[in-house]
Amino acid sequence: MQTVDWYLNRLKQMSLGEISHRVRQTVVGHAQAKRTSVKTEVPLFNFKPARLNWLTAPVQVDTALYTRAADRVAAGRIPVFAVDDAALGSEPRWNKDVRLDVEAPLTFGKSLNYRDPRLVGDIKYLWEPNRHLELVTLAQAYRLTDSEKYLHALREKLESWFDQCPHLLGPNWASSLELGIRLINWAAVWQMVGGAESRLFAGARGAAFKDRWLKSIYHHAQFVTGYRSRYSSANNHLIGEVTGVFVAGCVWPLCQDMLNWRAQSYDILVHEALQQTCADGVNREQAIAYQHFVLDFLIVGALVGEAADIRFPQGYWLRIEKMLEYIASLMDVAGNVPMIGDADDGYVVRLSQERDFCHFRSLLATGAVLFQRQDFKAKSGHLDDKTQWLLGERAARYHHIRAATDRSTTRRAFPEGGYYLLGTDFDTEDEMRLVVDAGPLGHQSIAAHGHADALALTLSVGGREFLIDPGTYAYHTNERWRNYFRGTAAHNTVRVDNGDQSVSGGNFMWIRHAQARCEAWLPGDEMDVFRGSHDGYTRLRDPVVHRREIRLDKARRHIEINDTLMCKRAHIIERPWHFAEHCMVRETADGFLATSAAVTIGVKHADAGVTALRFSGDVERPAGWVSRRYDVKTPTTTLVWLAEISGETTLRTVIDCAQPAIVSDDSANSMPNSKKWERV
């Protein structure tokens, strides 16, 4: 629930134009709220829905994967984040949070406080089933088998949704992004069941159902167009919203309104694709999960437009290609991608039921076909089902792209986004891949999905993750854990006086941003050197500037990290090091060894007066956690070098990646809530 401080902080992040806009929106909302009991007129639909083919059933696909998943959906059982087998029932309670079992009221959606867990539970758990990702699974099963039982299940679920979620009322009419995503999934369902001529619409009942669905589609597009995210909220939400309306306008060009909204959405989508993404391909949210989320919107929007004979400009496609290059560069030889920034496991449309499906590899497979990129193909690993559903016959071109042989093409610097890669032997079993963050906190004044991770680094060796970004875990609920995972203590950087580099004003708002910059980037054949700094702690009574130098010696496989704290007085300095959960971390005479499979690295500090603390699954501090999935956290090992300094000081950490592998039955990471420390 929002406090007075939250509202004041939010107001401070708005321009006068945004304040004026939000006042107008509130006035319109109050007027609409008074009219919700009055039947909303829908114009005469004087155009037929288009028969577009933007999704194609793959020739070679494991049909059983889709029918098994669809049968579970039909029975009302789906995975929702940490609830692997949520029992929604054949007629789900669409306004209920499936985890906390809280049912939200059917009040006017735009005035409903969906951030209040007492009112709606965890809104993520309520909204996720309402994106109707699982209805696409039913439609895929029908497309592959021609079995009408999947049509019956589809109609049953949609009719129950129309009954329980009347126009403008309840939590499913609160967020324009959620409506935009629902439109995309409805468009996928519509096409895969056969469009307007589908057996789903046979007979009087079918015709009435089609009419009801088309009216809801119109209301969705109307709502999103009237309540687009703007100003400081114009992030991935705006891209998702206009993609939904654009897709709807292509699939259902029912009337002049839909055509007008489609044209507006196209213009905004093209503009925001360039505005929200740096020229080097980094999405300005500074969150890798939103990189793939936004890419899905951009690619789906363009493919649907192509099917409707609406072309997107070259600059739009070039930005997509650059975004894929960034993902390919961050991905190590085993396919691991650092969990930079926020992540909520969000899908735009779920087209693959493959057990080993990977968002990032799938995008690279799609990009390999679209751009005929050998390097994307090499990183993708295989041609996945999602790519085949999206690209149809074109997907076969994947097999004719010559495998990449030149490994030196890995992009190493993304200066506008602020990320730099140090390492050697890229994309081989001997790879060392270190990623350092010297970018902005996030997008717009609130930087909603950024983490306080300036100058943080991640490290993988031989395709094994060692030093990681621990992830996100929580959004609207669990504020303490939300603050931890997005805070400085949960990143491999320096923390001063027990505070974050940036100042939080709420779960999705930073009110003071640390400004990071790269001061030197010197890649070389023998050594890579990075130097950067940030001013996040200059707000302290005794201002502190953090400068970090990283030197990676390729021949010795040796990394030296020098952290200089420029200040005049005494401060408490922490240097946390977060290890992947599969690492076995043990203490030695002069530091620590971390082993993963057949790879071992050594980590030690090289300073007097430093205390080494070790945490695993500590709930009090908290420390020693990793979150690979939304709302799921797992104990891991975190080491913290703790020191008290007075005046300008340089602290040194050494990482040796040339250690011989160690085989041991030491199960240090299997002891949650354990904690030990030793003065070195």
Question: Where exactly are the structural domains of the chain?
Answer: 40-258, 277-411, 413-679
Distance, in Å, from the CA atom of 179 to the CA atom of 370, rounded to the nearest integer, reads 28
pLDDT bracket for residue 404 (50, 70, 90): low
Residue 228 tokens, joined: 């687009």
Is there a contact between 329 and 412 (Cβ–Cβ < 8 Å)?
Answer: yes
The one-character DSSP state at 1 is -
What SS3 class is residue 640?
strand
Can you say whether the dihedral through the CA atoms of 168, 174, 176, 177 is positive or negative?
Answer: negative
> Which pLDDT band holds residue 675 (cuts at 50, 70, 90)?
very low
Q: Which two tokens stand for residue 300?
A: 């789906």
Average pLDDT for 30-44: 68
For residues 148 and 667, what is the distance between their CA atoms, to the nearest angstrom? 52
Pairing of strands 413-414, 83-87: unpaired
* Two structure tokens written together for 55: 């999704």
Assess whether pLDDT exceeds 50 at residue 417. Answer: yes
Q: What's the whole-number average pLDDT of the chain?
A: 93
> Is pLDDT of 448 > 50?
yes
Convert the pLDDT of each residue in 189-234 to its tens digit.
999 999 999 999 999 999 999 999 999 999 999 999 999 998 777 8
Percentage of the chain exceeding pLDDT 70: 93
Closest CA to 583 of 490, 459, 455, 421: 459
Burial of residue 98, with CB atoms counted within 10 A of its CB: 0-12 exposed, 13-18 middle, 19 or more buried: buried
pLDDT at 659: 87
Question: CA–CA separation, 183 vs 243, rounded Å?
Answer: 9
Please determine, for residue 312, whether its predicted confidence score (pLDDT) is greater than 80. yes
Helix (H) or strand (E) holding 559: strand 558-566
Inform me whether the pLDDT recorded for 672 exceeds 50: no
Q: Report the distance separating Cα 244 and Cα 184, nearest Å.
A: 5
Q: What is the pLDDT of residue 234?
A: 84
Read off the DSSP letter of residue 623: B
* Structural domain 413-679, CATH architecture: Distorted Sandwich (2.70)
244-302 pLDDT per residue, tens: 999 999 999 999 999 999 999 999 999 999 999 999 999 999 999 999 999 999 999 99
Give me the residue label for tokens 């209040």. Answer: 116
**Pairwise CA distance, residues 656 & 461, whole Å:** 11
How high is the pLDDT of residue 5?
Answer: 78
- Give per-residue pLDDT as tens, 458-487: 999 999 999 999 999 999 989 999 999 999
Stretch (H or E) spanning 241? helix 236-251
**pLDDT interval class at 156 (50, 70, 90):** very high
Looking from the CA of 85 toward its CB, the CA atoms found within 13 Å total 2
The mean per-residue pLDDT over the stretch 151-158 comes to: 98
Burial label, 268 (beta-carbon count in 10 A; 0-12, 13-18, 19+): buried
How confident is the model at residue 386, as a pLDDT?
Answer: 99
Query: Which pLDDT value is given to residue 15?
Result: 75
Q: 548: closest CA among 510, 492, 470, 504? A: 492
| pLDDT score at 35 | 63
pLDDT tens, residue by residue, 52-105: 999 999 988 999 999 999 999 999 999 999 999 999 988 899 999 999 999 999
Q: Residue 632 above 60 pLDDT? A: yes
Residue type, 578: H
Quick one: 588 exposed, middle or buried, by C-beta within 10 A (0-12, 13-18, 19+)?
Answer: exposed
Structure tokens at 24: 């107008």
Position 406 scores a pLDDT of 59
Question: In whole angstroms, how far apart are CA 335 and each of 330, 362, 388?
Answer: 9, 11, 20
pTM: 0.94
Give the whole-number percent of the chain exceeding pLDDT 90: 86
Tracing tokens 């929007």 back to the chain, one arrives at 301
Report how far residue 323's alpha carbon sits from residue 283's, in angstroms, rounded to the nearest whole number.
Answer: 7
